[in-house]
Structure formats: C-alpha cells, structure tokens
Homo-oligomer: A and B are copies of this chain.
C-alpha cells in the first residue's frame, strides 16, 4: 500500500499495470512473456469459468481434455492454420533426455489434435453432433507481456464441435456467439458489438469468424470472444467423413470458439478507476466487506457486537470479509478494499449502532447510503444488483459517446488521432482498403456488425459502393 496507482489521465498503460499488480491480480513470471495469476485474479477466472460452463452445459455441451503436445506434422495438415500459428509456437525437441524424432508443438489451439481424434470417433450421422468444450492452457510465443491481455501462455476454453451439415455448424457458431454476448453483458457488464470478422482478420483455417468487440476506457477496441465456422477444412485435412442417413460419405462440418483470461484484462480496463479494481458484483467471490469503526474499548465492544450480528446475517447469503484488524485504521482499510475491488463496503461506527443503522458504500460510485439495520439484506441485494446494472449502462454510454460516424477519410483519420473510439464507416470489402487504413492509422476493422442497418454508401477509402458500415478502431 506504499505505492499509489498512477491516474488514468497521466498514463493509461501504467495505470492498468499498477491496478493489476497492486490489487494482486497477477504478477510477472521469470520467463519472458509469462505471467502468474495470483489468487485475487484467479478468483475472477473461477467465477468466469463457473458461469460460462453452466451456460455451455445448459446448451448441451460437455467437457473433455486433449493433449498439450501436438506432432509437428499435424500442424502442417491445414495450410492456412500452419501459416497462422506455426511461427508463434513453442517447440519441444527433447523428451526424457533424448532428441525427439518429430518435434512436438505446445498447442496454440487444439483443432489439429482434436480432429485427429474425431477421425477415430466419427463413423456415422449417429455419432453427430459432437459438442465438446475444453478448459485448458495454450501458448503463443510473446516477448512483450501485457498482463492478462497479451502473454505467451494463457488459460481459455475452446469449444470444438462436429456436425452433419453446414447449416447446423452455422447455427452452433451463432448460438455460441450469443452466449458470449449474453455473458459479456450480464456478467462482465461490458457491452459488446457482435459481428463478423473481415477475411484478413478471421481465424487461420476458418470459413468465417464471428466475434464480440468491446471498447475500453482509453477508447481502444478489444476482441472479447470469437466463434468460427470452420466449414469442412479440418475434416478434409484430417479425412473425417461420416455416413449420412442415405448411406453417402460426407466430410464433417466443424466449429470452434473460445474466450480466455484476456476477459479479466477487459474487465479491469472497462470499469476500474484511479483507486484500483472495480469488479462487477456477479463475478466477485467476496462481494461485501464489513469495516467496524471504533475508538477505545467501550466503543469497540458496542460496535463489534453490532457488526458481528450484521456479519452473521449476511454470511448466510454472501461470502463476507469481516475486517476487524486492530493494527490498521479505517481509512487504510477503505483504500485497501477499494484497490482490491470489493463491490460493497459496510461501515459501522458508534453513531450507527446508536441509531440502529449502517452505511453502505458501493465501489463504483463511492456514495454513502445510510440504511436501517432491519433492511440489511434487502438493501445489500439491491445495492449489488444496481451496481451490476449501472456498470453496464455506464460502459454503454461511454461507448456510444465515443462512437463516430464518418464518411470522409480525412475526418476519419483526424477523429482517430484526436479522440479515438469506434468509427462507423462504409467499406467496399477489399483487403486493399482495409490494409491502407491499417497502414495510415493503425486502426483495423473490428467487425462487420450484425445489427447495423443496410444502407447505401461509399467506401471511406476508395469511394466504391458499399451497403453497410463497419466498425474501425485501434485495438488491443
């Protein structure tokens, strides 16, 4: 607590790192590009896992576990896939003290090894669909660590499904994207734009990629989840065919989809402030802290007795921190729990005991609310659920305020330079114009939004006809 979090407007990037390190969410590991997820950060991942896993299972998915190491030859079976992933892999060349005949790649993603197994498991339409998800670590070589957002190894879930038709695979791809969108908004309290990636931004090996895109407080975009319709690419690469109802052999249709510990970075960047972490209540394993305040033994006895009762009642429902540490002053405790992002603080002092009241302070707005002791549970429930809703609304307002509609390329560039944010512009669909924008401005097409109305216009770069606006932004 000797350190101070750098304010956002002084240095946004340093602010982020300060919050992550000082709230003890993560730390740098001894190997370049790697991080340690500390208990405070891992608790958030556990909450993400538990809630998403339930959504996956409720929609018919099951979990499995596939190997970490992938033979080099597998990586080469799908042409785009190897080109996209091979350069960023970590490669095992020694095992059990001996040089290996074939190098093994640490999975950067598991399509190849999973489809080699699906070949064994799929014979007939009766074996379909396969709706498997995996919670695992993956590794993509990185030298420039950005905790949670960009690290060599990260934790994620990767769904890999197999279907009898294109339509079924497409339905699955969209279903999962909707789960991601619902999860992002209802749990992370981050509003997202769902859409399709351009050809150059799609997953290496996919027919097409859908995604959800969020805006951070520095107005940059962040991809929060992707869902790929892989077509028959991996089934063809791994020769996975099934006999359909008519007895004909067909290649299987596939999807894959994932979200990662990057979501924790998104969460921090979307809501936190200069005091530290702001955590949506639904993802807080410990949503409430009680801080009793007293001077002298007489007050202490009264306050602790009252606070104990409050604690007893609340802990029936919530995982509550009861901070009766003697060696720290209330102000220190307030700052400490604010830094760590505990959503709701309850202060109880001698005056509150006398009036049979207590003080609620929400982490996001820091406003004091005096409530009657009798209303404890109702008001705590209400404060937490209001906070969850308000965080989403605030983030939505921020995003909308920083989304600009531009039809002129000079204005487009000026807006990106001066205010940043999302730019909605027409695009002709060509990779050339997309590349030009990236060269000129470092902005990329975040997505072609699903719910953007059809509208005639002209590409902001080349002026050719276009029927829909897309989202451009600089991004993480």
Contacts and interface: CB of A to CB of B under 8 A. Distances in A.
A408 B208 CA distance: 73
Tally of this chain's copies: 2
Nearest to A117: B36
Nearest to A53: B46
Given A63-B43, A143-B96, A153 B30 contact: no
How extensive is the interface on chain A, given as a class?
Answer: 35 or more
A272 B338 CA distance: 53
Interface string A36-63: 1111011101100000000000000011
5 contacts: A34-B69, A35-B67, A39-B63, A39-B132, A92-B93
Given A29-B113, A39-B132, A68-B139, 15 more contacts: A30-B113, A30-B117, A34-B67, A36-B64, A42-B64, A68-B68, A68-B153, A69-B90, A69-B139, A87-B96, A90-B92, A90-B96, A95-B141, A96-B142, A137-B137
A179 interface: no
Given A95-B141, A96-B141, A132-B39, A90 B63 contact: no
Contact of A64 (B38, B121, B152): B38
Contacts of A117: 27, 29-30, 36
A65 interface: yes
Interface in A84-102: 87-97
Contact of A66 (B36, B89, B94, B95): B36
Contacts of A70: 31
Interface string A342-366: 0000000000000000000000000
B104 A90 contact: yes
Interface string A1-38: 00000000000000000000000000101110011111
Interface of A: 27, 29-31, 34-39, 41-43, 45-46, 62-71, 74, 87-97, 103-104, 106, 113, 116-117, 120-121, 132, 136-137, 139, 141-143, 152-153, 155
Contacts of A69: 31, 34, 90, 139, 152-153
A68 B137 contact: yes
